[in-house]
Chains A and B, each alone.
Chain A
Amino acid sequence: MLEVASLKVRYGAIEAVRGLDLAVGKGELVALLGANGAGKSSTLAAISGLTPWSGDITFEGKSLKGLSPEAITRAGIGLVPEGRRIFAGLTVSENLLLGGAVHAAPVELRQRAAEMQDRFPILAERRHQKAGLMSGGEQQMLAIVRALMARPKLLLMDEPSLGLAPQVVEAVFDLIASLRSEGITILLVEQNVPMSLDIADHALVLAQGRLSVSGTTEEVSRSEAVRGAYLGLSA
């Protein structure tokens, strides 16, 4: 579904991604792991059209080169951005409406929002509340559901567990696992390596903008580099 080849992302003199290759198949959950500054978020920013890049990115066989962020979203790629970036001054309902704004007629849009609120009752309870007043975990849930409102074919998730309390992190990973079981294709960027490996099909580990380890989650878990650096296990 998504193929990335020889991807490079530069910020001035700094090369954040140095020739990355990756592929995500339909219905898969692929985890892109690594430490801070490894190039994970830059990879998602490139796929979403938020930052200039070189190399090749194709989605369902079509190149994403030169497409604007809005065109990429309309093509079926949704992003849950790092730091949630919900619209704090808008209500929960308004955040949800915007999530599906260009994909559905107003009546269908409200129907989708109602379905999401049925599935996530906390969002129904808070629907008239300013989103900025919600807790971090609720805001993360809103950011994920907002992206789902567009019914994306591929969901990019950028560090969804960042800054959340441990029990909330578990709830977020449960939600990601349930989305995966519903058949939604997901590319998950995370620093929480153990929990990501628990729910993913494949994993790639980035280090300084380059691919360090890749394979099925079992293969990656067995990798000495990953065991030592991310899982706290001796090699």
Chain B
Amino acid sequence: MEIFVQQTINALSLGGIYALLALGLAVVFSIVRLINFAHGEVMTVTGYGIWFILLSGFPVGLAIAFGVVAAIAVSVSMERVAFRQMRGADVTTLLITSFAVSQIIQVLFQTGISARPVAVILPAWLTDSIMIGPVRVGMVSLLSIAVVLVSLVLLRLVLTRTVTGISMRAAAEDFAVVRLMGISANRIIATAFAISGALAGIAAVLWVASRGSVDPLMGAIPVLKAFIATVVGGLGSLGGAVVGGFVLGVVEVYLQAFLPEGALPYRDAIALSIIVGILVLRPEGLLPGVSTNRS
């Protein structure tokens, strides 16, 4: 029972990180129909930002804040420099552009810092574990769950209580009509990228805290998982992205923990088979978005 509780906490922690990343992808996709595979590199920027600030002798709080702000700045810059020029282009062109941005950032880190991982030394209290009753739980896992919950609540408040947030939800339904309300397309898209960057930054803080290192390819696998989560949840659906992230986290952690040893090499194959099974049963995803009306 203890192991089950422990693994459930781990699953929620990992699923929460996937949920944040998937939500970041979904926020942008719902408005500009772009799957931004350079989203992973936004994570990497946060990782190196934290590493640099800690290396310079500043406290961990400042390092985290710097990392998240750097993620927002990079995400907004990506839109301004690369994606704005491609606005209105077909999905394939946008996809290739995002791969190009991703590759450029990876190479910049490989040549500018190192292709090898660099250690991010975090305070001991963050990497410790604590006992909750008979269950030993990592601080990072607990913090991850708390941070993910707070982030999701804050995002929900922004999307439902502010005019900018309501505009973004409306833009996901019908961008042309939102512009007819006099609302700036540039402002909505830049805000979507800023929110996406903030979510990637927060996810990166949790990811780095659990790994203790950062490397130029750090964001590649998580963004792939986040993409799978958005598809499972329902492409373009914000609620779906969160659900998809948690489903993926639970499937991964439970398979790792409870599969017989002989079956462990097939963990990823089994996980992906479960995902395929979900998509066969629900091709639109678990929580499909509102039907869109675009021009």
| Interfacial residues, chain A to chain B (CB-CB below 8 A) | 48, 50, 68-70, 73-74, 78-79, 81, 85, 87-90, 94, 97-99, 101-103, 106, 109, 132, 146, 150
| Interfacial residues, chain B to chain A (CB-CB below 8 A) | 163, 166-167, 169-170, 173-174, 176-185, 289-291, 293, 295
Which chain A residues border B291 with CB–CB below 8 Å?
88
Given contacts A87-B170, A87-B174, A98-B163, contact A70 B179 (CB under 8 A): yes
Q: A88–B290 contact, CB under 8 A?
A: yes
The one of A48, A106, A109 that contacts B180, using a Cβ cutoff of 8 Å: A48
The one of B179, B181, B185 that contacts A99, using a Cβ cutoff of 8 Å: B181
Which chain B residues border A99 with CB–CB below 8 Å?
181
Given contacts A101-B163, A106-B163, contact A88 B182 (CB under 8 A): no
Q: A150–B181 contact, CB under 8 A?
A: yes
Residue ID in chain B nearest A85 by CB atoms? B177
CA distance A73 to B185 in the complex (A): 13
Given contacts A50-B295, A87-B177, contact A68 B170 (CB under 8 A): no
The one of A89, A98, A146 that contacts B290, using a Cβ cutoff of 8 Å: A89
Q: A81–B182 contact, CB under 8 A?
A: no
Q: B183–A81 contact, CB under 8 A?
A: no
Q: A89–B169 contact, CB under 8 A?
A: yes
- CB<8 Å pairs between A and B, sample of 18: A50-B295, A68-B185, A69-B180, A73-B180, A73-B181, A73-B182, A81-B177, A87-B169, A87-B174, A87-B177, A89-B169, A89-B290, A90-B166, A94-B170, A97-B166, A99-B181, A132-B290, A150-B181
Which chain B residues border A98 with CB–CB below 8 Å?
163, 166-167, 170, 178, 181, 183
CA distance A121 to B182 in the complex (A): 26
Residue pairs across A and B with CB atoms within 8 Å: the count is 74
The one of B167, B169, B177, B290 that contacts A101, using a Cβ cutoff of 8 Å: B167
CA distance A85 to B169 in the complex (A): 14
Which chain A residues border B289 with CB–CB below 8 Å?
89
Residue ID in chain A nearest B184 by CB atoms? A70
The one of A79, A90, A109 that contacts B169, using a Cβ cutoff of 8 Å: A90
Within the complex, the shortest CB–CB distance from B284 to chain A, in Å, comes to: 15
List 18 additional A-B contacts (Cβ < 8 Å) besides A69-B180, A102-B184: A50-B295, A69-B176, A70-B183, A73-B181, A73-B182, A78-B180, A81-B177, A85-B174, A87-B170, A88-B291, A89-B289, A89-B290, A90-B166, A97-B163, A98-B170, A98-B183, A101-B181, A106-B163
The one of B163, B177, B182 that contacts A150, using a Cβ cutoff of 8 Å: B182
Which chain B residues border A50 with CB–CB below 8 Å?
176, 180, 295
Residue ID in chain B nearest A143 by CB atoms? B177
The one of A48, A70, A88 that contacts B173, using a Cβ cutoff of 8 Å: A88
Which chain B residues border A73 with CB–CB below 8 Å?
179-182
Residue ID in chain A nearest B176 by CB atoms? A50
CA distance A103 to B180 in the complex (A): 12
The one of B166, B169, B179, B290 that contacts A69, using a Cβ cutoff of 8 Å: B179
CA distance A94 to B167 in the complex (A): 9
Within the complex, the shortest CB–CB distance from B286 to chain A, in Å, comes to: 17
CA distance A89 to B295 in the complex (A): 17
Which chain B residues border A89 with CB–CB below 8 Å?
169, 173, 289-290
Which chain A residues border B178 with CB–CB below 8 Å?
98
Which chain B residues border A69 with CB–CB below 8 Å?
176, 179-180
Which chain A residues border B184 with CB–CB below 8 Å?
70, 102
Which chain A residues border B295 with CB–CB below 8 Å?
50
CA distance A101 to B171 in the complex (A): 14
Interface centre among A70, A78, A85, A90 (most CB of B within 10 A): A70
Within the complex, the shortest CB–CB distance from B145 to chain A, in Å, comes to: 29
Within the complex, the shortest CB–CB distance from B189 to chain A, in Å, comes to: 12
Given contacts A87-B173, A88-B290, A89-B290, contact A102 B166 (CB under 8 A): no
CA distance A214 to B263 in the complex (A): 79
Residue ID in chain B nearest A73 by CB atoms? B182
CA distance A101 to B167 in the complex (A): 9
Residue ID in chain B nearest A102 by CB atoms? B182
Within the complex, the shortest CB–CB distance from A80 to chain B, in Å, comes to: 9
